[in-house]
């Protein structure tokens, strides 16, 4: 996958945009402006601003800093953010989009929310319940203004409909889109990254402006409009299909003589969202940015067709193996200790809920997350010597959606801090991996042969843990030693 060399060095320069009929207005070499911005910055008394970015379909194999993929994309803006904050190397999401979005915004797992797979806006069925307490709702009691920008993907047309981010999600404002950029809009016209249907506070309208760029424009407008402290949830479509070549000023991918293959398109899409995130950060007033926590995570792993070796080709998005659920996570903001460090503690998507509330000094941060599914990472951010906050992570996928079966599809995984990972399928079959010795899940310890007595004991403990986790019985995530 040919790429232009030395892109990181180009962060030192910022050039005017090239003309572009789609209206994209930033080059891939924009300086994100984060160097030293949080040095000695203390959290403001009224609570910090929170910028929470949820990237789409970008696994750890696609980010060079993780050192796992054979030929990862170049993400200089995210690399620069990592130097100013903390990079969590063992973070886990759910296998597909909607369950992770629900987990982040509610702090609850799929079997608790009923969001076990994709929520398709045009279809009938289960949606995020208005009974859930969301981050926007909880932060409002702390005096926060809130805006959601980008992909919602948690409601259906026959449920709360296009205004769900406000009526169900609790946001003050919403501008974005209801579902993936794949189906026709309500106007009957096809959608793409170049021409798509935008929803603004429940009202649909056609937009002919490159999606990733438009969303950052909207995010900047939201910051200008909101009083501090504010909560901005930004959910770009990139790098979800439809795969395409972004405007040339947004990436540095050279397809070579063979032309644009799927891998190059995907790589360029990752570059484009990295570049636009750089524009967002560099445009914010430095004093405002110094009062802001920036959290960036992906919603699931890389699509199976694009998983980079040594991850197996069949272990991408949609399943509970490492390539489908292990994702990049960056955090940076005021009060962070020893920026630039990588932390190998276990983290799951639900933990962002408690973490954001804790950073906002919400008086009920721990009470709102008291079932233990969501645990705050604030101790790790503010103390470089802090120990892990949890000893296990879990992920699952099931269809149809809802709080009970019967299911046509069901996969579960639970992983302990020692690296032992148990997978379960709908038919009752199991797989067991030792990630400490086999990080890419090449050897299923249950595939033939007798287990050592020590492994039998650990397998029994993992089965008991999985029964508790997916039965809703585990509290605290600290209840079992690794």
pLDDT in tens, 20-65: 434 444 444 556 778 888 987 888 888 999 999 999 999 999 998 8
CA dihedral 320, 322, 324, 330 (to 10 degrees): 120
Closest CA to 295 of 333, 324, 327, 326: 333
- From residue 186, how far is each of 48, 178, 197, 287 by CA, in Å? 38, 11, 8, 41
Instruction: Give the DSSP H/E element, type plus range, for residue 51.
Output: strand 49-55
User: Does residue 189 carry a pLDDT above 90?
Assistant: no
pLDDT at residue number 334: 96
pLDDT at residue number 368: 63
pLDDT at residue number 270: 96
Contact residues for 258 (Cβ-Cβ < 8 A; gap 6+): none
Please give the Cα distance from 135 to 171 (Å, whole number).
9
pLDDT at residue number 43: 81
CA within 13 Å, CB half, 354: 24
User: Does residue 174 carry a pLDDT above 70?
Assistant: yes
Closest CA to 353 of 104, 112, 94, 142: 104
Identity of the highest mean pLDDT range in 183-197, 409-423, 437-451, 466-480: 409-423
Please give the Cα distance from 422 to 405 (Å, whole number).
22
Of 20 and 211, which is predicted with more confidence? 211
User: Does residue 265 carry a pLDDT above 60?
Assistant: yes
- The mean pLDDT value for 70-81 works out to 92
The overall average pLDDT reported for the chain is: 88
At 288-340, the pLDDT tens digits run 999 999 999 999 999 999 999 999 988 999 999 999 999 999 999 999 999 99
pLDDT at residue number 29: 58
pLDDT at residue number 22: 45
Which domains does the chain show, CATH number per domain? Answer: 23-394 (3.40.720.10)
At 382-420, the pLDDT tens digits run 999 999 999 999 999 999 999 988 999 999 999 999 999
Over its C-alpha atoms, the chain yields an Rg (Å, rounded) of: 21
Count of other CB atoms within 10 angstroms of residue 362:
20
């Amino acid at each position: 996958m040919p790429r232009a060399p030395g892109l990181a060095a180009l962060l030192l320069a910022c050039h005017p945009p090239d003309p572009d009929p789609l209206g994209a207005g930033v080059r891939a070499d924009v300086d994100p402006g984060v160097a030293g911005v949080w040095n000695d910055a203390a959290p403001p008394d009224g609570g910090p601003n929170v910028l929470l970015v949820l990237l789409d379909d970008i696994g750890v194999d696609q980010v060079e800093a993780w050192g796992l993929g054979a030929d990862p994309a170049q993400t200089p803006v995210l690399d620069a953010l990592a130097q100013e904050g903390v990079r969590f190397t063992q973070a886990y999401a759910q296998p597909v989009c909607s369950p992770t979005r629900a987990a982040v915004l509610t702090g609850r797992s799929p079997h608790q929310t009923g969001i076990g797979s994709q929520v398709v806006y045009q279809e009938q069925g289960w949606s995020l319940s208005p009974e859930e307490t969301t981050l926007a709702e909880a932060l409002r009691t702390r005096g926060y203004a809130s805006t959601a920008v980008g992909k919602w993907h948690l409601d259906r047309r026959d449920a709360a409909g296009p205004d769900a981010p406000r009526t169900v999600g609790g946001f003050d404002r919403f501008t974005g889109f209801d579902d993936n950029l794949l189906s026709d809009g309500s106007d009957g016209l096809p959608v793409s990254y170049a021409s798509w249907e935008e929803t603004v506070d429940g009202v649909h309208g056609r937009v002919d402006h490159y999606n990733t760029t438009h969303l950052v424009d909207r995010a900047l407008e939201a910051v200008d409009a909101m009083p501090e402290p504010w909560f901005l949830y930004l959910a770009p479509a990139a790098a979800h299909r439809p795969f395409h070549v972004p405007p040339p000023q947004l990436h540095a991918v050279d397809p070579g003589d063979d032309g644009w293959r799927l891998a190059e398109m995907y790589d360029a899409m990752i570059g484009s969202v990295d570049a636009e995130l750089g524009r967002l950060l560099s445009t914010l007033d430095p004093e405002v940015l110094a009062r802001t926590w920036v959290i960036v995570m992906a919603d699931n792993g890389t699509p199976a067709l694009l998983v980079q070796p040594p991850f197996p080709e069949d272990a991408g998005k949609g399943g509970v193996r490492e390539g489908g659920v292990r994702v990049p996570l960056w955090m940076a903001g005021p009060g962070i200790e020893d920026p630039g460090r990588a932390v190998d503690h276990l983290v799951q998507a639900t933990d962002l809920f408690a973490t954001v509330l804790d950073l906002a000094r919400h008086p009920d941060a721990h009470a709102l997350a008291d079932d233990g599914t969501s645990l705050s990472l604030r101790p790790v951010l503010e103390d470089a010597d802090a120990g892990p906050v949890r000893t296990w992570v879990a992920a699952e996928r099931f269809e149809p959606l809802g709080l009970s079966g019967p299911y046509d599809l069901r996969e579960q995984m639970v992983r302990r801090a020692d690296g032992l990972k148990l997978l379960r399928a709908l038919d009752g079959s199991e797989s067991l991996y030792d990630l400490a010795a086999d990080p890419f899940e090449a050897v299923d310890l249950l595939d033939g042969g007798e287990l050592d007595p020590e492994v039998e004991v650990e397998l029994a403990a993992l089965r008991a843990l999985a029964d508790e986790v997916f039965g809703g019985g585990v509290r605290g995530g600290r209840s079992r030693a690794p």
